[in-house]
């Protein structure tokens, strides 16, 4: 399957299953991907924060990309995550990930930091977009949630380069409300978070890259589609049901991703150390939130994902 052009496109950070000895379970990863191909999830993001990117080395990321590519067998597409301060390193990784089968690379905007003696961010992305063998998804994901790493004018220049596929907004919604006007017309604007699906859709988001996509990709799709259609009451009704679950994901991190997947019949397994699994009380609240969202039935069994 080539990268889709029809909106909405919903992608999620792909969970990395780990065994009790902390080793990466590629067989479980393949089984999960095959199961996801029967859902509304458009594609997989491998090597992202929600996928424990900072807990994995480069060889493991490459193996994971190859495993996901083989498992989806042309039914979906793969975005490989890159977090590199050097554009040369970003290009090196994009070539390695493309060779492993990735269709796109998601490149994080480097922290703004102190601007003295640092080349303009436009130079970074000019090199990356020119030399990457596959299209680039630009993500604005500051280390501190409400920080800003790109100006509207910088974003206008970055998204005007050839080979840019999408821009993923940050959690700073007040700031991002201004950004769609600066994103090039041919570049997709995506929201970043389950709680921001309807707000993102209302300012022009046509897709999403989000942790919640692991549990309810059909609901993420439906909220964005309702906003595209101007059906805001419908979008709000769905949005209100999922906010509890998304709040837990934002509060407790990757262990929530894994717990939710376990409850849905996937092999979410456990986090890689030093992260710990959720407590019994936390698991019970995740289950409650999934029932509230109607992702699980009242008896705890997975609800149909249409």
Residue-by-residue DSSP string for 211-276? GGGGT-HHHHHHHHHHHHTT-HHHHHHHHHHHHHHHHHHHHHTHHHHHHHHHHTTS----PPTTS-
Alpha carbon separation from 280 to 29, 259, 277, 285 (Å, rounded): 25, 11, 9, 9
Cβ–Cβ under 8 Å, residues 130 and 161:
yes
pTM over 0.75: yes
pLDDT at position 1: 59
Tell me if 292 is assigned to some domain: no
pLDDT at position 114: 54
Check pLDDT > 80 for residue 24.
Answer: yes
pLDDT at position 116: 61
pLDDT at position 146: 87
Tell me if 300 is assigned to some domain: no
Tell me if 299 is assigned to some domain: no
Q: Tell me if residue 107 falls in helix, strand or coil.
A: strand
Tell me if 116 is assigned to some domain: yes
How many domains are contained in the chain? 1
Check pLDDT > 90 for residue 27.
Answer: yes
Tell me if 302 is assigned to some domain: no
pLDDT at position 113: 61
Q: CATH number of the domain that 192 lies in?
A: 3.20.20.70
Check pLDDT > 80 for residue 237.
Answer: yes
**pLDDT grade for 117, boundaries at 50, 70 and 90:** confident
Percentages helix, strand, coil for the chain, rounded to the nearest 5?
45, 15, 40
Tell me if 127 is assigned to some domain: yes
DSSP structure class, residue 206: -
- 17: domain range? 9-231
Tell me if 50 is assigned to some domain: yes
Tell me if 246 is assigned to some domain: no
């Amino acid at each position: 399957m080539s990268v889709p052009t029809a909106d909405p496109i919903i992608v999620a950070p792909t969970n990395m299953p780990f065994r009790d000895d902390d080793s990466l379970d590629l067989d479980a990863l393949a089984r999960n991907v095959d199961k996801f191909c029967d859902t509304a999830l458009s594609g997989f993001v491998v090597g992202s924060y929600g996928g424990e990117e900072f807990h994995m080395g480069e060889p493991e990321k490459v193996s994971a990309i190859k495993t996901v590519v083989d498992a989806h067998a042309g039914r979906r597409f793969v975005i490989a995550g890159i977090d590199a301060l050097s554009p040369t390193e970003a290009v090196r990784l994009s070539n390695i990930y493309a060779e492993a089968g990735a269709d796109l690379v998601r490149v994080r905007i480097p922290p703004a930091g102190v601007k003295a003696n640092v080349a303009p961010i436009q130079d970074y992305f000019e090199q990356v977009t020119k030399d990457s063998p596959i299209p680039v998804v630009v993500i604005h994901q500051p280390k501190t949630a409400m920080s800003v790493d790109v100006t509207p004018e910088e974003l206008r220049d970055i998204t005007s380069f050839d080979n840019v596929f999408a821009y993923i907004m940050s959690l700073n919604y007040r700031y991002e409300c201004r950004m769609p006007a600066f994103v090039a017309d041919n570049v997709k604007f995506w929201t970043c978070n389950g709680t921001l699906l309807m707000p993102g859709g209302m300012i022009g988001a046509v897709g999403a890259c989000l942790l919640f996509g692991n549990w309810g990709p059909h609901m993420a799709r439906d909220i964005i589609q309702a906003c595209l259609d101007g059906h805001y009451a419908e979008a709000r009704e769905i949005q209100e049901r999922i906010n509890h679950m998304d709040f837990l994901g934002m509060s407790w991190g990757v262990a929530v991703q894994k717990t939710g997947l376990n409850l849905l019949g996937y092999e979410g397994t456990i986090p890689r150390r030093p992260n710990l699994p959720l407590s019994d009380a936390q698991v019970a609240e995740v289950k409650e939130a999934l029932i509230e969202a109607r992702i699980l039935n009242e008896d705890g069994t997975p609800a149909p994902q249409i």
